[in-house]
Every structure is written in structure tokens, then in C-alpha cells.
Amino acid sequence: MKVFAVFLLAIASASAGLLPQVAYMHPRDRTTVPSIDGRITNGHNAVVNQFPYQVGLSFTASSGSWWCGGSIIGNTWVLTAAHCTSGASSVVIYYGATVRTSPQFTYTVPSSNWIQHANYISLTVRNDISLIKTPAAPFSASVNKIALPAIASTYSTYVGQTAVASGWGRISDEATTVTSHLQYTDLTVIENSVCQNTFGSLVVTSKVICVATPNSISTCQGDSGGPLALDGTLIGITSFGAEDGCEIGAPAAFTRVTSYLDWIKTNSGISA
């Protein structure tokens, strides 16, 4: 498994509200197990065809490989996180899988097929979004797209609403073995100001959406790039959480899709 730098910022400056009181990292970077690893912590098993828009992404680079999630937004486009595509040379896309190792079909595409946001900044997790151009995927009950938010909802904060996250991230902070079944959990969107108390305002900008993680329910390794959906609409892309673990009760953060509707349309032609 590729080893990644953890985003550590000075605790001494945290009182200013700009820098984090808790160090943060991408779910993709948590594991030390050299394999596709896990699931959402303390979530539920998905049933067949429950999340037809969910894909698994197995990235490869000269230094290793890693697993992320993604969302189908068109039959030739997948949306994921920039920290997932960053540094990779190719990806195998798993479509229609409830059991991770049993997809309906897979496509392998090179890095030339993806569009990583030109202004992605890993240190502050800015613009953590990428598009992957794929061969045309045949839609069915198990493989289908998820809707993007309407332009009219650009200023929606979604605070207080319950959204669903899905993916194959680790089952717990202690997990060292892989689990194959797609997981999901319901998470409540919180005010960004609450999230800033943990991660700082340099990291939690208006282009980030955060959720509470009560009862050790959160996104964990392997969920990076995966969807946060509300009423069948994609509102977030799994981005980062607390370095200290998925179960410590710190907020989980997502790229706010409404902040990138123009970027998505410009680069893929897709809109709500």
C-alpha cells in the first residue's frame, strides 16, 4: 500500500481558528495493510442494487496501489476525489458490486482519462475533486447514475438533513483484515463552524460539507472519493477525517458538490 504524508499542522496556532486542533487525513491513507481494505465503521450491509451509482476504484502507481470509491454521474463519467487520482497511473473501475470482488463488470483506464482539479492543494485539501472518463457503461438495475444537485440548490447548506454515505472502508480503527460487502450509514450534516472547531477554517471552507459521527459511525479507509447522497442526489465526495481514527467522534468531511457544478459541467458536459 502506498504510504502517504499525514496532514499535520501546528497545534499552537489552533486557537486562532485557522489551523486544526485535530490532525486530519484522507480515509485512503489510514491503512497499513497492503490490500483493498474494509468498510464504513459501524455501518450496515447494503443490499443488491441499493447503490447502483457506487463504483469501486483500484488505483495503481509505480509506488503501489490503493482503493477508493466513486460515483457514476453519466454513462461515461465517474466523479471521485482528487486525492484518489493524485499520483496514480491507472485505475480499474468496479461497477455494480455489492460484494467488492464480484462486480457486474470492470473497466481499466489510464491517467490520461481523468481530469483532476487544476487547483487541488493536498496540504489544505482544497478542490478535492476529479472526473474519470470511462468507456460507455450499460445502465441496469445494478449500474446507474446519481443525479447532481440543481443549480438552484447551490446555496443550500443541508445542515440538519440526513444523508447516506456508502463504501468499502474499514470496519473499525483496529481492523486489519479486508471485508468485502458494501456498507452504508446515515449521517447528519452539521454547520461548518462546528467542523472548523476541529479542523480549522483553512481546511473547512465553504466548499466543504461536514457530518457528525455519533456512536463511532463514520467513513474510514477505502471510502475516499465515495458518495454522500441526499434523496437520490450527490451532495458530497468523501474527503477527510481525523488522523486519530474513524471512531473518535470527530466530524467527517466531504467535498461540497454544489460548489463544483460549473466545473463538472465545463469538463464533462453533465449537469442536473
d(CA 131, CA 140): 22
Q: Which amino acid is at 256?
A: R
> Which listed residue (26, 37, 58, 83) is catalytic?
83
Ordered alpha helix ranges (H), 159-199: 192-199
Confidence at residue 180, expressed as pLDDT on a 0 to 100 scale: 81
d(CA 87, CA 5): 13
Domains annotated for the chain, with CATH where assigned, are: 22-32+147-259 (2.40.10.10), 52-145+260-268 (2.40.10.10)
Residue 128 bears catalytic tag: yes
What φ, ψ does residue 231 adopt, rounded to 5°? 50, 45
> Which listed residue (128, 166, 218, 223) is catalytic?
128
pTM of the predicted structure, to 2 decimals = 0.84
Confidence at residue 215, expressed as pLDDT on a 0 to 100 scale: 64
The helix/strand/coil state of 180 is coil
d(CA 97, CA 18): 40
Residue 267 is placed in which grid cell? 469538463
Categorise residue 117: left if φ over 0, alpha if ψ from -120 to 50, beta otherwise: beta
Tens digit of pLDDT at every position of the chain (272 positions): 332 323 333 333 434 455 545 555 455 443 332 223 333 555 788 999 999 999 999 999 998 999 899 999 999 999 999 999 999 999 999 999 999 889 999 999 999 999 999 999 999 999 999 999 999 999 999 999 999 999 999 999 999 999 999 998 665 545 444 458 898 989 999 999 999 998 999 999 999 999 998 765 545 544 889 999 999 999 999 999 877 656 667 888 999 999 999 999 999 999 98
The helix/strand/coil state of 84 is helix
Task: Report pLDDT digits (tens) over 26-71.
Answer: 554 433 322 233 335 557 889 999 999 999 999 999 989 998 999 9
Is the Cβ–Cβ distance between 216 and 42 less than 8 Å? yes
Angle at 13 between CA 215 and CA 224, to 5 degrees: 40
Confidence at residue 170, expressed as pLDDT on a 0 to 100 scale: 61
Residue 224 bears catalytic tag: yes
Residue 29 bears catalytic tag: no
Confidence at residue 272, expressed as pLDDT on a 0 to 100 scale: 85
The number of residues making up the chain comes to 272
Angle at 32 between CA 30 and CA 37, to 5 degrees: 70
Confidence at residue 202, expressed as pLDDT on a 0 to 100 scale: 92
Please say whether the dihedral angle defined by the alpha carbons of residues 234, 240, 108 and 131, taken in this order, is positive or negative: positive
Confidence at residue 230, expressed as pLDDT on a 0 to 100 scale: 98
Ordered alpha helix ranges (H), 135-229: 192-199
